[in-house]
Amino acid sequence: MGLETLSTNRSFGGVQGVYKHASAATGTDMTFSVYVPDHAPGAKLPVVWYLSGLTCTHANVTEKGEFRRLCAELGLIFIAPDTSPRGEGVADDPDGAYDFGLGAGFYVDATQAPFAPNYQMWTYVTQELPALIAQAFPTDMDRQSIMGHSMGGHGALTIGLTFPDRYKAVSAFSPIVAPTRVPWGQKALPGYLGDDQTAWRKHDAVALIEDGARIPDLLVDQGDADNFLTNQLKPELLEEACKAAGIALTLRLQPGYDHSYYFISTFMADHLRWHADRLGSS
């Protein structure tokens, strides 16, 4: 498999690991983290995927997410991929902006130069990395769920809506729900995918719902002191789309909370319990 272990640490009876491998999808080395709780020999555990936001790597949630105690209690494997390819020769935003290029892959398969050779994050997260995880860790891949934050919330929503039979639960913190309608997405989607707006809609949760994608229910937490709330996130658009489609959305506007991991870590346990209930975990 070519999987290299970068570090392992004992935590709440389980093991927090960080790993690296050569990705065929991105043409680069990719780093990700996996927490595996203590379990009986031969047991297969359900999997929660966590997709991170702009500027982040696997390390942000691994170090700040405060998920391990509850994952150990509930018997959940927690996986955090990187947000983009990295390394020598990987294209970046020509102006060095934080919201495009390195750290900002937007979970799409780029078709535009110079990004197409490496920015194949949709394939990486939905195909290549799950296959590797299934081989290397004690996973029950019939019980997977997905969550994410900000750009990663966008990724979790669009992936969950695209593969409703694969992911038994979907949730998000402060997601970009309609990237085709906000500045972050209006920069990233044409930059990676070109001018065909049909291709953009496949990576817009609200558009996917409008076009017929369905999941039974959805949990979203959003801080009302988030400085990106009105300009970039617009959770009311998701609320309207879910209501029209009959999707049971639990949208919680949390007073005083911002966009940071102080917010995410506060409500992480609620999300993990939401996922465990739908995964049939303990």
Across-strand partners of 249? 218
Catalytic residue at 226?
yes
User: Which tokens go with 179?
Assistant: 């990237």
DSSP-assigned letters across all residues of 158-199 = HHHHH-TTTEEEEEEES----GGGSHHHHHHHHHHH-S-HHH
| 100-104, 108-112, 126-130, 278-282: least confident range | 278-282
Say how far apart CA 96 and CA 98 lie, in whole Å: 7
For the chain, which domains are there? Answer: 3-279 (3.40.50.1820)
Q: Number of helices and strands (H, E) in the chain?
A: 10, 9
Q: Which of 52, 84, 145, 150 is catalytic?
A: 150
Of the candidates 4, 274, 271, 27, the residue with the CA atom closest to the CA atom of residue 136: 4
Say how far apart CA 176 and CA 150 lie, in whole Å: 6
- pLDDT for 2: 87
Across-strand partners of 252? 221
Query: What value does the mean pLDDT of the chain take?
Result: 97
Element of type H or E holding 32 = strand 29-36
Query: Cis peptide before 114, with omega less than 30 degrees from 0?
Result: yes
Note if the pTM is more than 0.85.
yes
- pLDDT for 270: 98
Q: Which of 58, 149, 203, 259 is catalytic?
A: 259
Answer whether residue 41 shows pLDDT above 60: yes
Tens digits of residue pLDDT in 163-184 = 999 999 999 999 999 999 999 9
Answer whether residue 18 shows pLDDT above 60: yes
User: Which tokens go with 189?
Assistant: 């989607």
Say how far apart CA 31 and CA 22 lie, in whole Å: 9
Q: Give the residue carrying structure tokens 């004992």.
A: 10
Tens digits of residue pLDDT in 181-215 = 999 999 999 999 999 999 999 999 999 999 999 99
Catalytic residue at 93?
no
Whole-number CA gyration radius for the chain: 18
Higher pLDDT: 144 or 2? It is: 144
Tens digits of residue pLDDT in 143-154 = 999 999 999 999
Say how far apart CA 100 and CA 188 lie, in whole Å: 6
- Under the banding of pLDDT at 50, 70 and 90, the label for residue 282 is low
Of the candidates 248, 57, 83, the residue with the CA atom closest to the CA atom of residue 170: 248
Answer whether residue 1 shows pLDDT above 70: no
- What are phi and psi for residue 205, nearest 5 degrees? -60, -45
Tens digits of residue pLDDT in 50-106 = 999 999 999 999 999 999 999 999 999 999 999 999 999 999 999 999 999 999 999
Say how far apart CA 7 and CA 1 lie, in whole Å: 17
Q: Which of 23, 221, 226, 281 is catalytic?
A: 226
Say how far apart CA 79 and CA 37 lie, in whole Å: 12
Say how many CA atoms lie within 13 Å of 23 toward its Cβ: 30
Q: Is the dihedral angle over the CA atoms 48, 74, 213, 132 positive or is it negative? A: positive
Q: Is the dihedral angle over the CA atoms 84, 90, 92, 96 positive or is it negative? A: positive
